[in-house]
C-alpha cells in the first residue's frame, strides 16, 4: 500500500482490549483510518460474538462484525502472569491502549496506568471507556446504552407526546462515546507531538448521554422548563416533521424564512408565505398545529420522492422516509461508497473522506484468536514460546466456555 492511500493513521499501533460497542466502535474507526489495531480478547471472547441472530456461516454475529473490521484478534489470558508479560511486550511500541474494564481491574492485574503503564511506556495514550466514569457517586458502576439513555433524560424527549418515552433504536450513547474516545486519543496524540508524553483519557457513557442533550439542555438552562416529547417534530423549528404524501412519508426540515417561502411556492400555496401565523419561525412554532394541517392537505396529492428531489434542488431540506433496503441500495449510497464488501463481508462504509489519504477496509472482522501467531511472531516470540503459551492456556486458539 502506497503512502498516498495508507490512511492518515498509517503507522499507528492500537492495542484494543475493549469489548461490546463503545470501545470497539472507537478502535474500528481508528483502524478504518489506517491504524494497526490488535484486538486482545479474553479467553471467552468478546461476548458480542454471540449477540444474534443473525449469524454468518462461521457462526459470527452480525453485531460483532459491525464494529470489528480492520482488526487482528489475539486471545490472551491477562490474569496469568505470562499473559501480562505478553501484553506488556505488545505495548512496547504501541501508540494507544483502549480498554473498558471495570474500574480498578487493570490495577488489580498490576497493569494500572499510573502505577505501571505510564512509567514503562511514557508515550502511551491510555483510553478508558466506562459507564459512569471512574469516580463520583456512581463511579465504577457498569453501564449499558439503554440504561444511560433512560438516566440521561433521553426518554423524556423521544417518543410520541402521549404515553411513555421510548429508547432510541440506535445505541447512540455507546456510539457517541466511541466517537468521543477516538477524538480524545487523536487529541492526545497531537499534544504528544509537542510534549513527548502520553496521558490517560476517559470517555464515559454517562457524560456522553448528557453532552448529547441538544437542544434540550440549552432550552432548560434558559427557560427552566422541562422538555416535552413531540414525536417526529422539532421543539424549536417548524415545519420540521414527518408528513404523509400520496406515495411515501417524507420529512421536511425547514429552518428559515427563505426555505419556507420556496416550500410554499413548490406546493402551489403562496398565500401561506404572507399568512401572519407563519411569518417567521417563532410564529410557525406557536401555530404548529395549523401549519401542519395546511401542509398535510397540500401534500395529499404529491409524489413524495419527486417532491423531495425538487425541494432539495431548491435548497429546501427534505427527504423520503426510507428503510434499510431503501437507503442501503440508494444510488447516492453507492456513489458515496457507504456500503463496502471485503472477502465476503459486507458493511457500512467509512463516513470520513480524505483528499489524499483515504481510509480503507483492509481486513474483514477476525475470527477468535485468528492472528495469535502472526502478532506474537511480530512481537519477537518464537514458535516454541507460542506453543508453550497455547499449551498453558495463556494464548487461546479456541474460545473458553464461560462459567
Q: Which residue, 156, 148, 42, is CA-closest to 396?
A: 42
In three-state secondary structure terms, 284 is: helix
CB atoms closer than 10 angstroms to residue 395: 27
State phi, psi for 373 to the nearest 5 degrees.
Answer: -70, -40
| C-alpha dihedral sign at 241, 244, 249, 253 | negative
Residues 32, 36, 95, 174: which is the catalytic one? Answer: 174
Output DSSP code: residue 102: P
* CB of 292 closer than 8 Å to CB of 231: no
* CB of 126 closer than 8 Å to CB of 113: yes
DSSP code string of 249-275: -EEEE--SHHHHHHHHHHTT-THHHH-
State phi, psi for 256 to the nearest 5 degrees.
Answer: -155, 175
- Known catalytic residue: 174? yes
d(CA 91, CA 65): 25
β-pairing, 318-320 vs 250-253, is: antiparallel
In three-state secondary structure terms, 94 is: coil
- Residues serving a catalytic function are 174
Amino acid at each position: 500500500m502506497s503512502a498516498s492511500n495508507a490512511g492518515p493513521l498509517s503507522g499507528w499501533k492500537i492495542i484494543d482490549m475493549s469489548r461490546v460497542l463503545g470501545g470497539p466502535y472507537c478502535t474500528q474507526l481508528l483502524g478504518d483510518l489506517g491504524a494497526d489495531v490488535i484486538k486482545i480478547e479474553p479467553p471467552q471472547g468478546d461476548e458480542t460474538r454471540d449477540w444474534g441472530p443473525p449469524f454468518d456461516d462461521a457462526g459470527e454475529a452480525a453485531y460483532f462484525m459491525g464494529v470489528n473490521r480492520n482488526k487482528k484478534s489475539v486471545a490472551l489470558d491477562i490474569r496469568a502472569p505470562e499473559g501480562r508479560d505478553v501484553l506488556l511486550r505488545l505495548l512496547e511500541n504501541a501508540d494507544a491502549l483502549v480498554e473498558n474494564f471495570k474500574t480498578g481491574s487493570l490495577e488489580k492485574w498490576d497493569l494500572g496506568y499510573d502505577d505501571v503503564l505510564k512509567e514503562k511506556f511514557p508515550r502511551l495514550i491510555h483510553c478508558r471507556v466506562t459507564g459512569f466514569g471512574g469516580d463520583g457517586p456512581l463511579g465504577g458502576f457498569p453501564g449499558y446504552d439503554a440504561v444511560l439513555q433512560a438516566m440521561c433524560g433521553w426518554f423524556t424527549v423521544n417518543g410520541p407526546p402521549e404515553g411513555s418515552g421510548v429508547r432510541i433504536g440506535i445505541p447512540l450513547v455507546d456510539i457517541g462515546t466511541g466517537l468521543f474516545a477516538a477524538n480524545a486519543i487523536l487529541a492526545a496524540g497531537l499534544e504528544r507531538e509537542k510534549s513527548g508524553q502520553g496521558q490517560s483519557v476517559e470517555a464515559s457513557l454517562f457524560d456522553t448521554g448528557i453532552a448529547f442533550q441538544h437542544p434540550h439542555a440549552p432550552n432548560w438552562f434558559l427557560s427552566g422548563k422541562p422538555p416535552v416529547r413531540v414525536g417526529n417534530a422539532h421543539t424549536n423549528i417548524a415545519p420540521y416533521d414527518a408528513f404523509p404524501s400520496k406515495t411515501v412519508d417524507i420529512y421536511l426540515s425547514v429552518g428559515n424564512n427563505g426555505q419556507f417561502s420556496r416550500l410554499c411556492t413548490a406546493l402551489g400555496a403562496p398565500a401561506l408565505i404572507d399568512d401572519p401565523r407563519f411569518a417567521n419561525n417563532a410564529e410557525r412554532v406557536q401555530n404548529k398545529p395549523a401549519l401542519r394541517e395546511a401542509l398535510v392537505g397540500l401534500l395529499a396529492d404529491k409524489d413524495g420522492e419527486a417532491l423531495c428531489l425538487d425541494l432539495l434542488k431548491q435548497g429546501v431540506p427534505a427527504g423520503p422516509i426510507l428503510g434499510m433496503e431503501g437507503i442501503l441500495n440508494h444510488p447516492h449510497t453507492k456513489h458515496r461508497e457507504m456500503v463496502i464488501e471485503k472477502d465476503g463481508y459486507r458493511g457500512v462504509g467509512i463516513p470520513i473522506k480524505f483528499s489524499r489519504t483515504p481510509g480503507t477496509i483492509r481486513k474483514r472482522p477476525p475470527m477468535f484468536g485468528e492472528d495469535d501467531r502472526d502478532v506474537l511472531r511480530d512481537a519477537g516470540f518464537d514458535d516454541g514460546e507460542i506453543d508453550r503459551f497455547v499449551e498453558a492456556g495463556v494464548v487461546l486458539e479456541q474460545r473458553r466456555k464461560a462459567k
